[in-house]
Structure 1
Amino acid sequence: MARRSRERRWRSPPRPRRLAVDHDHQTGVVRQLLCHRCNLVTRAVEEDPALLDAIRHYLGQHGS
């Protein structure tokens, strides 16, 4: 699983300090390993997909 996750990792640091097993909270099906930060963001957006647009808007308003 670690090797496959390294090959498919997205936006994570090259050598994350902490890995988390990402899974679907409704079914319990494991998706892959993510760095801790990406796992937190993924969970937050999974709970509230509109959050992603709100973050984009916020960053757009503040020059990022």
Structure 2
Amino acid sequence: MSTVSWKDVTFTETAGPICRGDVTLDITEDHIARWKEDPDGRYAVMAVSDYVSPVELGKFYPSL
């Protein structure tokens, strides 16, 4: 998984860890606010370190 959309995390509106397959994503209030502005935008998934969850969301890629 290299990017994640709001749809991928079932349009969550609650910050916190979200399990997606074998990865746990750390979703923040800022991520949710940005998705509310651009629901089709995507975040890059950034591994904090090898074989460790949760992973963080990096750069935001707006929808076209």
TM-score by length of 1: 0.27
Structure showing greater radius of gyration is 1
Q: Give the structure with the larger strand fraction.
A: 2
Q: Give the structure with the larger helix fraction.
A: 1
